[in-house]
Copies of this chain bind each other. A is one copy, B any other.
Amino acid sequence: VFLVEESDARGAIAPRRSDTHKGSYGHVLVVAGSHGKSGAAAMSALGALRGGAGLVTVATRSEVVESVLGHTPEVMGWPLENRGPLGMADLEPLLAAADKKDVLVVGPGIPRGEETVKLLGTLLSRVEAPAVLDADALNAVATDLEVLRRAKGPLVLTPHPGEMSRLTGVPTKDLQKARVEVARDFARTHGVTLVLKGARTLVAHHDGSVYVNPTGNPGMATGGMGDVLSGLLGALLGQGLKLPEAAWTAVYAHGLSGDLMVARRGRLGLIATDVAKGLCNVWTRWNR
């Protein structure tokens, strides 16, 4: 079990070379959002942009595309023309959306239904890019963990303890007493990288290594923080960081942004977009 140090996280991100362009920093596809949860997509996309992504496209139900874009004009929308929960009818549009993307972030605020797990399983089995599974993508995958094994590219899962409980069947209370063991076991068994969120977020890789994150604070215990993290993690993968480094670097930077914001603005009123916007404080501190 490794403790992530600031020099590790800083060192994982290479300084930018001058002869680069937006294509050098990755195109992130965020599959997220629905009517009433458009903000989740917007926050994940913002996390990706503020995390250095070259381009960010959000694939979401057509009716909320403009709502998502309304928060951040730098984001592009990929309208999914069907209605209702994500299902097999969305496969072709999502495969088209995923074409030439460097990384997928799937889950924040998606409309989930019975077919969602089958859709995600098929999608992941046909896309080579690394994928971050978060929020309702985790809840969907929990119903059939075989989809993890069938994924063509590397997978990162970012559950909070409640979602981890659904993934493993272990009650949250028990899980919290054996976080390292449960996380390591899951990562190994399913061949993924697992980010188990909470007071001391863990990153467990399928090679058995486990990383403990020292940053973050209880002011971050508020809605949307996870969406920002999944976007940031997608951005780092898109910039070429490998796993598990990308995961523990994202977690470290996300928590540090929260710590720097809280020092200035208190704990109680911190909200998720503060942490996304505050990432610039981390990059400045790291000269990145």
Question: Which residues in A have some Cβ–Cβ distance to B below 8 Å?
Answer: 13, 16-25, 35-40, 42-43, 46, 49-56, 62, 64-67, 69-79, 160-162, 198-199, 217-219, 221-225, 264-273, 279-288
Contacts and interface: CB of A to CB of B under 8 A. Distances in A.
Contacts of A287: 266
Nearest to A56: B223
A268 B73 contact: no
B76 A37 contact: yes
Given A76-B37, A266-B287, A267-B288, A160 B21 contact: yes
Nearest to A199: B19
Contacts of A67: 66, 69-70
Contacts of A283: 265-269
Nearest 7 interchain pairs by C-beta: A266-B283, A39-B73, A36-B77, A52-B268, A16-B218, A265-B280, A266-B284
Nearest to A41: B73
Contacts of A282: 266
A54 B16 CA distance: 37
Contact of A66 (B35, B268, B272, B273): B35
B271 A222 contact: no
Contact of A221 (B42, B54, B284): B54
Contacts of A266: 280-288
A200 B37 CA distance: 39
Contact of A52 (B18, B49, B269): B269
Contact of A51 (B219, B269, B285): B269
A65 B259 CA distance: 32
Contacts of A54: 221-223
A73 B217 contact: no
A188 B64 CA distance: 46
A197 to B, nearest CB: 8
A287 B18 CA distance: 29
A144 to B, nearest CB: 26
30 contacts: A16-B221, A16-B268, A17-B218, A19-B199, A21-B199, A22-B225, A24-B218, A35-B77, A36-B76, A38-B66, A39-B75, A43-B74, A49-B269, A50-B269, A51-B269, A54-B222, A54-B223, A56-B223, A67-B70, A73-B272, A74-B223, A74-B272, A265-B280, A266-B280, A266-B282, A266-B285, A266-B286, A268-B279, A268-B280, A269-B280
